[in-house]
Amino acid sequence: MKEAAAKPRKPKKAVKPVVIPDLTPTTAAPPAAPAKPDRRLFMAGGILLAVAALFLLANSGFFMKRVEHQLNPPVVMEPSPPEATDPYLLAMAGTPDRIRIPSLEVDAPLVESATRTQAAYKTALQMGVVHFPGTPEAGDVGNAYFFGHSSDFPWAKGDYKTVFALLPEIEMGAKIYVTDHDGNAYAYVADGTRVVVPSDLSVLADPGNGKRMLTLQTSYPVGTALRRFIVTASFEAEVLVR
C-alpha cells in the first residue's frame, strides 16, 4: 500500500510578547528649588524709590502749587471799557517794590540783594523776587532783570520758595506788573521764553534800543539748577504817582 502523503504543517502563529506593566512605585524627583532673587536688584530698586520719594518731598510745594493752579485757574480782570486804565496798574500804584502776574497768581515783594554773591542772593530770595544788581530798576530804560525760586526744600527759610513755580506756564501776551521804589506802576507784556545754561550771560544784555524791557528768571527743571528758564516782556503802560 502506498503511504498517505504527509499534510503540510500550518506555520505557527507568532506569539506577541505580553508586556506586563511595572507597578513598582517610583519616587518622583523633587522640584527644582526656585532661583534666589538677586539682592542687587532689590537694593537698586530701593535706592530708586528712596530718591523718588526724596525728590517729591523736597519739591512738594512746587507740585501742590501746580495742581492747585490746574484745579482752580485764576480769573484775570480786563479793563472795562477796553480803553480804560488797566485795573491792576491802578491797584498796584502807590505800593512800592512789588511784582504781580495775575495769570500765574504771582504776587510778591521785589527785593534788592546786598551784594553780587550767592550767599546774598540766597538771603534775598527768602524775602521775595530779587532784582539783579547792576541792571535797570523796574520801569527804567533797558533790561530790568529779576529772579525767583521755582522750588526749594519745605524746611528752608522764607515764604517765597515757589514764587516762580508756574513761570514756565506763562503764555505770550500775559501781563506782568511791577512797581518801583516810589510806587510807580508799570505793565509789561510777555513776548518770549527760552531755556539757557547758567553761564549764558546774554540774558542780562541791554537791548540798546532805548526801550524798556523786563526779564524774569527761575531754575529749570524743577528741583535742579541745571538750566535757567527765561521770560522776556516789553513795556506797555504805566501809572505814575510821584
Q: Which three cell numbers stand for residue 209?
A: 534800543
Give residue-wise pLDDT tens across range 160-184. Answer: 999 999 999 999 999 999 999 999 9
Angstrom distance (rounded) from CA 144 to CA 112: 12
Which CATH number does the domain 49-239 belong to among 3.40.50.10860, 3.40.50.300, 3.40.30.10, 2.40.260.10?
2.40.260.10
Can you give the pLDDT at residue 41?
78
Statement: residue 187 has pLDDT above 60 = yes
pLDDT of res. 50: 75
Higher pLDDT, 9 or 73: 73
* Comparison of pLDDT for 40 and 199, the residue scoring more: 199
Q: Which amino acid is at 96?
A: P
Per-residue pLDDT at 108: 98
Domain boundaries, the chain: 49-239
Give 82 or 215, the one with higher predicted confidence.
215
Q: What is the pLDDT of residue 9?
A: 64
| pLDDT tens for each residue of 15-68 | 566 555 555 555 666 676 676 677 777 787 777 777 666 666 667 777 777 788
Residues 6+ apart with CB under 8 A from 176: 99, 100, 101, 187, 188, 189, 190, 214, 216, 231, 233
Instruction: Work out the pLDDT band at 12, boundaries 50, 70, 90.
Output: low
What's residue 8's pLDDT?
61
| Statement: residue 7 has pLDDT above 80 | no
Residue 52 is which amino acid?
Answer: A
Q: Pick the residue with more confidence: 27 or 217?
A: 217
Q: What is the CA radius of gyration of the chain?
A: 39
Percent of the chain surpassing pLDDT 70: 81
Please state, rounded to an integer, the average pLDDT across all residues of the chain: 86
Query: 234, 147, 150: which is closest to 192 by C-alpha?
Result: 234
Residues 6+ apart with CB under 8 A from 210: 141
- On the question of pLDDT at 4 being above 70, the answer is no
Grid cell at residue 87: 485795573
Beta bridge partners of 213: 143, 234
Find how far residue 132's CA is from the centre of its chain.
24
Task: Classify 71 in phi/psi space as left (phi over 0), alpha (psi -120 to 50) or beta.
Answer: alpha
Percent of the chain predicted with pLDDT > 90: 58
Own/partner contacts of 212-215, CB < 8 Å, gap of 24 or more, are 212/136, 212/139, 212/140, 212/141, 212/142, 212/144, 212/186, 213/142, 213/143, 213/144, 213/188, 214/138, 214/143, 214/144, 214/146, 214/176, 214/178, 214/188, 215/143, 215/144, 215/145, 215/146
The mean pLDDT value for 3-12 works out to 59
Neighbours of 66 (CB within 10 A): 16
